[in-house]
Amino acid sequence: MPDDTKRPSEQRDDVVVPLKRSRSPDGGVEAPDAVVVGGGAIGLACAWRAARRGVRVRVLERDHPGAGASHVAAGMLAPVSEASWGEEALMRLALASAGAWPGFAAELAEDSQLEVGYEPCGALHVALDRDESEELRRRFELMGSLDLGVEWLRPRACRDLEPGLVPACAAGVHAPGEAAVDPGLLLPALTAAVERCGGQVLVEAEVTDILTDDGRLTGVITGDGREHRAEHVVLASGAWSGASPWLPPLARPPVRPVKGQILTLRGNPDQPVCRRIVASERVYLVPRPDGRLIVGATVEERGFDIQVTAGGVLELLREAYRALPDVSELELVETVAGLRPGTPDNAPLVGPGALDGLVLATGHYRNGILLTPISAEAVAALLAQDPLPPEAEVAHPGRFAGESAPGLVAAPTIEDARE
Ligand SMILES: Cc1cc2nc3c(=O)[nH]c(=O)nc-3n(C[C@H](O)[C@H](O)[C@H](O)COP(=O)(O)OP(=O)(O)OC[C@H]3O[C@@H](n4cnc5c(N)ncnc54)[C@H](O)[C@@H]3O)c2cc1C
């Protein structure tokens, strides 16, 4: 990319000063320690947190920051909604990340000097008929065993919290600790924070090939032929990670695209149809302070297709109306589809990849925004050779060592990872 595509970086006194900052005359970073492939929430956050630890970083984004799933996401930070049997380790990771969000958002606002859009709004999970009520009760018992700080509510108590709920609402679970963030604010803030901490974000910079030296990955090449040499290459290309033609087949992680359609409605911000996240078995509704209401999302195995379909919109609107009938009065302002990076066990891949020098930060499936703080911290620690957060063990790529990803090494223990 020509250098004039870079945004101006500025320094502020109250930003943590990177230890190894080295700036070229054009304001970029000379010889980065790490290049990050993909400028979604994950890639940008990894770069920002690494830059804060003194690592020189360069993000390579083939389009613009947030062009992938990250700008499509509803931005729910809702581990309780994801409580699922057999995924307790993943739940601990999600809870650790949810717990990190307030501090992460505050530091991001400080480093970027921008609004982040973090809203500790809470959530109400509702059952709209008897069958759903039984299912919600079973999940509530699981939530109780995981100590998720939730409360079972009878129909009247649900409607006291959210008066717009359909009168037939059968039961609810109140999760006051859940929150949301607006990706429309988060992505610009992350981009600015990377740059203000001394990193570089290159747009329209598609990675097309790798550089190797004696079997070790030593950098990547972008479509314009430019070489980006670095000690580490962080793969943060979301749903495209598993189909990266520029990586040798054995180094491609087991990540597949999972389509999600999502809608934006808009109403009067002074009379919102709900004040907290309302989630039923088939739909969730996330209010924004400006009167928008995000309605998501379908889950479809359709490869890289991102067409919005009449059936998808119909299903979302029908289920939204079933929970909160007043949605029928709102303006429909946007319909969009995105691709979640899915993995065989729904947990992300964060840690060493199948090539020496390759670090994976991908596979965040339905919870990439929720998992952004903990994933970024783990990658930044790895790049800075610091200890990893213990909860990150569930995300070690080595769990897929073997047939599905022959190049990945078996997971070391946390102690090994600290060496
Ligand atoms: C409809 C929907 C709703 C969602 N709601 C939520 C939610 O409420 N809460 C939540 O936590 N998560 C949610 N998610 C999931 C979340 O969006 C993802 O897990 C997360 O955005 C993944 O971030 P990422 O940075 O890994 O990927 P992406 O945001 O997809 O970023 C990957 C980037 O890599 C770039 N790229 C790809 N190949 C190359 C290349 N060769 N060279 C350079 N750049 C490349 C792409 O252009 C893209 O910008 C939702 C997802 C969808 C689809």
Atom of ligand 1 nearest to the CA of 337: 1
Q: Are 398 and 412 in contact (CB under 8 A)?
A: yes
Predicted pLDDT of residue 408: 67
Ligand 1 atom closest to residue 260's alpha carbon, by position in its atom list: 1
User: Which pLDDT score is estimated for 308?
Assistant: 98
**Model-level pTM?**
0.92
Q: What is the pLDDT of residues 225-277, one digit of tens each?
A: 999 999 999 999 999 999 999 999 999 999 999 999 999 999 999 999 999 99
Cα 362 to averaged position of ligand 1 atoms, centre (Å):
9
CB 104 within 8 A of CB 48: no
Q: How far is the C-alpha of 233 from the C-alpha of 235, rounded, in Å?
A: 6
Domains of the chain, earliest start first = 3-71+184-255+345-418 (3.50.50.60), 122-178+256-342 (3.30.9.10)
Virtual CA dihedral for 57, 39, 384, 219, nearest 10 degrees?
-60
**pLDDT of 28 higher than 60:** no
User: Strand, helix or coil at 311?
Assistant: helix
Q: From ligand 1's centre to the CA of 371, what distance in Å?
A: 12
Ligand 1 atom 19 nearest Cα: 368
Helix or strand holding residue 45 (H, E): helix 41-52
Q: What is the pLDDT of residue 405?
A: 61
Ligand 1 centroid distance, CA of 376 (Å): 14
Continuous segment of H or E residues that includes residue 350:
strand 349-352
User: Does residue 338 line the site of ligand 1, with CB under 6 A?
Assistant: yes
pLDDT at 212: 96
Question: Is 14 a residue whose pLDDT tops 60?
Answer: no
pLDDT(306) > 70: yes
Q: What is the pLDDT of residues 345-372, one digit of tens each?
A: 999 999 999 999 999 999 999 999 999 9
- Residue (of 400, 114, 93, 124) closest to 278 by Cα position: 124
Alpha helices in 153-268 (DSSP H): 155-161, 183-196
Burial 245-275 (b: 16+ CB within 10 A, else e): ebbeeebbbbbbbbbbbbbbbebeeeebbbe
Spell out the alpha helix ranges (H) of 146-287: 155-161, 183-196
8 A C-beta contact, residue 11 and residue 23: no
DSSP letters, 275-295, are SSEEE-SS-EEEE-TTSEEEE
pLDDT of residue 303: 97
Q: Give the Å distance between the CA of 270 and the centre of ligand 1.
A: 32
Q: From 219, 205, 202, 212, select the one nearest 34 (Cα to Cα).
A: 219
The reported pLDDT for the residue numbered 7 is 32
Residue 417 confidence class, pLDDT cut points 50, 70, 90: very low
